[in-house]
Amino acid sequence: MDSITTAILGGALLIVMLGMGLTLQFSDFKRVLLYPKAIFIGLTNQLIILPLVGLGITMLFSLPAEVAVGIMILSACPGGPTSNLISHLAKGDLALSVTLTALSSLITILTIPFIINFALIRFMGEGQVVALGILETILQVFVIVVIPIVIGMSIRKYRPTFALKMAKPVRIISAVVLAVIIIGLVVKERENFISYFEQAGLATLLLNILTMGIGFVAAKLFAIDKAGSIAIAIESGIQNGTLAITIAVVLLNNTEFAIAPAVYSLLMFMTGGVIIYFGSRSKLA
């Protein structure tokens, strides 16, 4: 992987996370006290159920080792800004969605290296890879995730008009950059991409649909209202594809690990569109 690719991916993730920060306020974190049950269910789905479902899918399908690792990288990642947009358009609880995204982004800094190391050893073999250094990875993820979020939140606090004006353009730029990254990966792996799509398509689609379904059912079982259940479902199943690709390519220096996140990122817009269609047409009573 060359330095230009590293710089592009780093810049792309910076834009995505900065954009998320522009939509957040420090008061968002106080919602833990206002919605403790909903927050607990959402984070349980995100941090525990999602990786377990991802692992189950890798055991169910006969996946190449690189695709299986990619699935687990996805499972380790938090929700992203896309989940907030989908929640809003699908009439989900946007405040809850934003809070879950922010909290999961902070907590997964600690869980990402452990889950990925487990996946590398399980699927690649101890002699085939160099495991991620725990403290080093935590620091790297902190730098590429938390710092731009805090910068965005600070801009929102001290320049709220500017932040609100810039939030939409930054979100659009984020989507365009993600599309460019995916196209770049497809071009680089063009000889194998059709094969990868055949191998990873069903697995990533199942990961997306199952985790959203589990999130929605779990929320309803605990008597969360429909708007909250929609938000929890989306947060459980719409992952930060840009972060997953960055981890694969920049931290692990392996573009093949990024194939599953790239395929997933394409499919999640399709399933997200379905959720928006039915959510926007339904009543929240």
Task: Please report, rounded to a whole number, the percentage of residues in the chain having pLDDT higher than 70.
Answer: 78
pLDDT(87) > 50: yes
pLDDT score of 52 = 94
Q: Which residue has the higher pLDDT, 120 or 136?
A: 120
pLDDT band at 6 (very low <50, low <70, confident <90, very high): low
pLDDT score of 194 = 73
pLDDT(81) > 80: no
pLDDT(2) > 60: no
**pLDDT digits over 34-60, tens only?**
778 888 998 999 889 999 999 999 988
Closest by alpha carbon to 234, among 260, 273, 284, 184? 273
Compute how many other C-beta atoms are within 10 angstroms of the C-beta atom of residue 164: 12
| Segments forming the whole domain that contains residue 89 | 3-281
Q: Which residue has the higher pLDDT, 151 or 218?
A: 218
pLDDT score of 127 = 53
Span 132-147, mean pLDDT? Answer: 69
> How far, CA to CA in Å, does 256 sit from each of 69, 150, 262?
9, 31, 10
**111, containing H or E segment:** helix 94-124
pLDDT score of 285 = 47
Q: What CATH number does residue 158 fall under?
A: 1.20.1530.20
Angle of CA points 145, 171, 179, to nearest 5°: 85
**pLDDT digits over 214-248, tens only?**
999 999 999 888 888 888 998 888 888 778 888 88
Q: Which residue has the higher pLDDT, 168 or 236?
A: 236
Q: How far apart are CA 12 and CA 176, in angstroms?
A: 10
Give the tokens for residue 220. 């309803």
pLDDT score of 129 = 54
DSSP-based three-state secondary structure for 257: helix
pTM comes to: 0.77
Work out the mean pLDDT of the chain and round it to a whole number.
78
**pLDDT digits over 58-75, tens only?**
988 888 888 899 999 999
**pLDDT digits over 112-135, tens only?**
888 888 888 888 775 555 555 667
pLDDT(105) > 70: yes
Task: Please report, rounded to a whole number, the percentage of residues in the chain having pLDDT higher than 90.
Answer: 12
Domain count, the chain: 1
